[in-house]
Structure 1
Amino acid sequence: MEKKSIFFNLPYWEYNLVRHNLDVMHIEKKVCNNLIYTLLGLGKKSKDNVEARLYLKEMNIRPALWPQQRASGRTYLSPTYFTMSPKEKRLFYEVLENVKFPYSYASNISRCIRKRNLSGLKTHDCHVILQELLPIALRRSADKRVTSVLIELCSYFRVLCSKVLKFKELELLVEKIAQTMSNMETIFLPSFFTVMVHLVIHLALEVKIAGPVQYRWMYPIERYLRKLKSYVRNLSCPEGSIAEAYIANECLQSCSLYMEGGDSRSYWSRKSKDDTKHEIDKEGCLFPTIGKSYGSVEVISWIRKHGCKHIDMCFSIVNQMWSTITKSQ
């Protein structure tokens, strides 16, 4: 029995060009995890295991990769194109351990490597590894046939996530990704190609219709949800904790604008080489200006220019307006 979504009952649903928005963030994470854990042969997350080899035997394909029973009772798995030797794995780990990025570009990926084991990768870590580090780490750590295909896959994601997109390039990507996926099917096992991996082929076509992925992926939503989760102090009433913390932050942000010296909550930089200072004149400023000016700056006080008579006149007008408001109430 096949399940049919209720959205198909809508009269306009069949005319929608993009019926479901594919999240590039989660697709990148799943593809990166499948690649890394399979290439390094790490535990249960690897798509090259005994069950995957037995599935080849059931399908009666690739007999050279079928599991073999040894006299000792152990199951032997013959190496494939993407199987790495211990030396190649060591070179792969060295790239991830010694890489350095600019501040706030990426997290410290070396923290995820423990005793030649990779674990705890976040979504943005997979984003950086798939687009920046994987093509470099595979140049000396894998077969050329595997490296060429995976570099094409990494460049595909890099173009999709770029800020500027051209229709001609997207049309080439739609044609190229089909060839790339077919080449990957000749190298990796059928268990490697999960649903998330198959969705890769639809991303370029979706970008042509819906626009850049920066406006549709889940990074800003996930970061804001993490911020809201940090507000929870009472697990029995999470909604109340989030509401109270949100109101408190709004009050602090509003009050910080009226405080002289220091940065407000709306403008705060943790690490910045250019020490930006607030320019406050001698008479004090309610909302200090932020940034630097070019050329000579001449500060003219309003009081010195117009005198105190105008100030007294302004205060008298405000008092008259306030008295009329109170009388009308």
Structure 2
Amino acid sequence: MDRPNDVDSTNMITEMPIDAAETVEMVEAVEDAEKPLYIRCHNFTKLSAIIQLLNLKKGNEMYSSTYEVKKAFKAMGSGNEYTDLAACPTYGKSRWKVDEQKNKIYNNIPAKCLWYFPIIPRFKRLSQSKTTTKDLTWNATERKVDVGVLSHPANSPAWAAIDDKYPDLACEPRNLRLGISADGVDMNRGNRSHSVWSVLTVIYNLPPWLCMKRKFIMLSLLISGTPGNNIDVFLAPFIDNLQLLFDFGVATYDAYAQEHFKLHAVVLWTINDYPTLGTLSGCPYNDFQGYAVCGEETQCIRLSESNKQGYAGHRRFLPYGHPSRRQKKEFNGQQEFSPSPEPMNGEEIYNRNVGESLTRTVLNVPEKTKDGYKARLDLVHCGLKPELHPQIEGNNTTLPAAGCTLTKEEKDKLCETLYNLKVPQSKEIIVDELDKLQEELCVTLCLLEKHFPPSFSNVMIHLNVHLTREVKLCGPIFFRWMYPFERFMKVIKGYVRNKNRPEGCIAEENVTEETIEFFSQFLKRMVTVGIPPDNHNNCGIHKSVDSSSIADSTPVSAAKSVEVFAELFNKAHFFVLQNTSEVLLYIKNGVKRDKLGYTLVELKRLGHKGDPFILASQAQQVFYVTDLLDQKMSIVFKTPPKNYKDTYEDVDE
């Protein structure tokens, strides 16, 4: 395709016509010259696209009708083979709603609505692209293996366990490892709330900078309404395809190796929010055994005044000799010497956010805080912390200040810190550090249990005690959290043009986008759908980049050559002398440590204004958080390491 013609609207009108109607038409033409062809289109305007089409010569190979375009799409595997059926091809049940009492069939009113996008032809289509097929073997051919480091699911014990149990699956690196996510999205049909459930599939064979990108997240199922306990009925065709891929495989052509092979696939895990996990696994998520891993060993108490469950007992996860195990008054009035519960395995199990609860409580948000009047009555009922019991004087009831109660000034400082805090995402996990992290996490949960009322410790708080175990088994958490899937659901929600038929809009747009994306891989100068543009120099969209490339001649960002003169050389020499161990003892550089061991720096102190150098050993990425107790100082936090260079920023597309 030729490059778009740039239309200069500023030179289109040199003299306005006298006739008013002609004037309006000319103004509209100018607006068309500046109006993008579609949302986020940067290459074409409405007028430039028309000019491109008019430039086409007679006898061109363009499709002459929408019907021909749909035929081409169907050839790519995007048709619907069950469009005209009136009964289920498997069970023979009527497609339409049936009133059994009146023995009446309501034609054109479906009994249940499900949109299934078969995954097998889409997996086979991935192998038709040489670049994508090469990326699908990254885990076996280019992945850097560091003992004791988790940077990709392929490094995890879960991946290794499947390889050990199914060696035939492991011997072919092109066999797919999948993750499945299910969740609902509210479409809001005018005044009515309407939920649509989506089941998404992600492929973990890809490099870490690609596998969670929108292009490789596949919409597999679309369910109208909330499926509830009948979700197994809707999942049936999806499960059948997964079973076929696991047991028998399908013949597939590898465009990169130019050979046929048998493609198999296996599901590593499912990714859901906690209520959805209860729906999929058949386990209750809000009763006395509300956490599937602990099962009968879950410590839960019923808070009659708050009408909810409280999940405590986090002292069981501390080291046996920890001082908190012997404390009584600060917890439930008893010492705790029980061991931590053994996690239930897969045969024993059929199968909001902590920060939100914490901030709402310390900021005392009305009707959202966990430290309200009913929470204090729970303390009375349990006989805990009498100093915090409600004080009734006549018609007035006063709640004594708790340890988590903040003054207005402290609330302002907390909000300012959270507003300005930008924490980088970790890309690499050192396995030996996880045990220490687990101990620190358990201490934190015990401190929350000590200073907050029992109603604060809901099941979402309790989940954190098991996060370290999941990281040990499955690898970095950002490969399994809900954020990429929630961003994808935001995208498909934007597909809806007709709120009375949201599922149909999503289905049609999704099929169209996938087909266009497949065609775009064979065309030049086409922007890839679902992968953000590369912001670094000389980093192609599909270039495999590992940690070694950071040290090569390719700059991470824009760079330029600098000629070193004598003055600059002397500054470099002086800097090296300043950083010798003998001299560092006598230099005051505005850096200090607080009693908790954090490094504090005074950023406004220009002690090195004329010094542009650092030693290579000092080059480390950090981020700063203002110390609100002394706003001249900033707290230094080190950026977590990552084992590769992520060339694509994680942005909403």
For 2:359, which of 36, 57, 66 is the aligned residue?
36
1:181 aligns with 2:181: no
**Contact 2:282/2:350 (8 A) holds in 1:** no
Q: 1:43-91: CA deviations, max 9, x gaps?
A: 11111100000111111111110111233x2211111111111111122
| Residue 16 of structure 1: aligned partner | 346
- TM-superposed CA distance for 1:255, in Å, is 6.7
1:75 aligns with 2:419: no
1: distance between equivalents of 2:348 and 2:436? 20
- TM-superposed CA distance for 1:193, in Å, is 0.3
**Contact 1:232/1:238 (8 A) holds in 2:** yes
Structure 2 unaligned regions, length at least 5: 1-280, 284-291, 293-343, 541-552, 555-653
1: distance between equivalents of 2:411 and 2:487? 33
| Residue 383 of structure 2: aligned partner | 60
SS of the residue aligned with 1:44? coil
| Residue 50 of structure 1: aligned partner | 373
1: distance between equivalents of 2:469 and 2:497? 44
1: distance between equivalents of 2:428 and 2:533? 29
2: distance between equivalents of 1:204 and 1:234? 44
Aligned partner letter, 1:203: L
| Residue 223 of structure 1: aligned partner | 487
- TM-superposed CA distance for 1:223, in Å, is 1.5
- TM-superposed CA distance for 1:172, in Å, is 2.0
1: distance between equivalents of 2:373 and 2:414? 24
| Residue 326 of structure 1: aligned partner | none
**Contact 1:18/1:210 (8 A) holds in 2:** no
TM-score by length of structure 1 reads: 0.52
Aligned ranges 1:140-155 → 2 under 5 Å: none
- TM-superposed CA distance for 1:95, in Å, is 3.2
2: distance between equivalents of 1:238 and 1:47? 37
Structure with greater strand share of residues:
2
| Residue 165 of structure 1: aligned partner | 429
1: distance between equivalents of 2:480 and 2:537? 33
SS of the residue aligned with 1:207? helix
**Contact 2:361/2:370 (8 A) holds in 1:** yes
**Contact 1:18/1:209 (8 A) holds in 2:** no
Q: 1:36 to 1:15 in 2, by over 3 A?
A: closer
- TM-superposed CA distance for 1:170, in Å, is 1.3
Structure with greater helix share of residues:
1
- TM-superposed CA distance for 1:275, in Å, is 12
Aligned ranges 1:175-214 → 2 under 5 Å: 175-214=439-478
Aligned partner letter, 1:88: E
For 1:244, which of 505, 508, 518 is the aligned residue?
508
Q: 1:43 to 1:214 in 2, by over 3 A?
A: same
**Contact 1:65/1:77 (8 A) holds in 2:** yes
2: distance between equivalents of 1:162 and 1:17? 32
For 1:233, which of 486, 497, 509 is the aligned residue?
497
2: distance between equivalents of 1:232 and 1:243? 10
TM-score by length of structure 2 reads: 0.28
Q: 1:6-55: CA deviations, max 9, x gaps?
A: 799xxxxx75399589xxxxxxx520111101111011111110000011
User: Please, what is the CA RMSD of the aligned residues?
Assistant: 3.8
**Contact 1:174/1:201 (8 A) holds in 2:** yes
Aligned partner letter, 1:44: E
**Contact 1:17/1:209 (8 A) holds in 2:** no
**Contact 1:257/1:264 (8 A) holds in 2:** no
